[in-house]
Amino acid sequence: MNNQKVVGIVDGVILIVVGILIAIFGGQAVMNIYFGVAAIIAGVALLALQIYALIKNLPLSIGSFIASGALIAIAIALFVGKADIAGALIGLLIAAVLGGGAGLILYGILAIAKKRVVPGIIYIVFGALMLTFGICEYVIGADFDRVFWITIGVLIAVYGVFYIVVTVAEPKKVSKK
């Protein structure tokens, strides 16, 4: 298996996990967890670099100490529900779903033009569903939130499975005789 396939499989698994988390917990909670995990990793990495510098008697960076402390504190605040980065980003996320859906439709059309009809149709269907639910979220609003996040989560997870299948599937070689 080549590196491209491994990366494709990992990408698909990440899509499946994120989709399931969004379907269960909603987009806002998952985004806060995601940003919390990213902040804790970055904060601990910066702190580890400064500890390494201390052990090796290298110059220390006050900025790295401040940033690592701030990132770790932000992560803790996100994990215990005292901060909400996602709340500010939900509108952007819905816009991303709309744009992502339109992008999938365009990609599907291009796939069909390149004689990849079945994957192209699947891309178009996923894109149309994302676009439809994004529009419904804007039009209906709060009453549609739970349905929106469950549906988007399931679509992301199913797309992850599809992505893995497309990554692993070998295109048939056509011999010209």
- Could you report the per-residue pLDDT of 121-150, keeping only the tens digit for each? 999 999 998 898 888 877 887 777 788 788
- Could you report the per-residue pLDDT of 54-88, keeping only the tens digit for each? 999 999 889 999 999 999 999 999 889 888 887 77
Domain boundaries, the chain: 3-168
Angle of CA points 129, 22, 7, to nearest 5°: 85
**What's the pLDDT at 177?**
55
Q: Distance between CA 153 and CA 171 in Å, rounded?
A: 29
> Alpha carbon 68 to chain centroid distance?
24
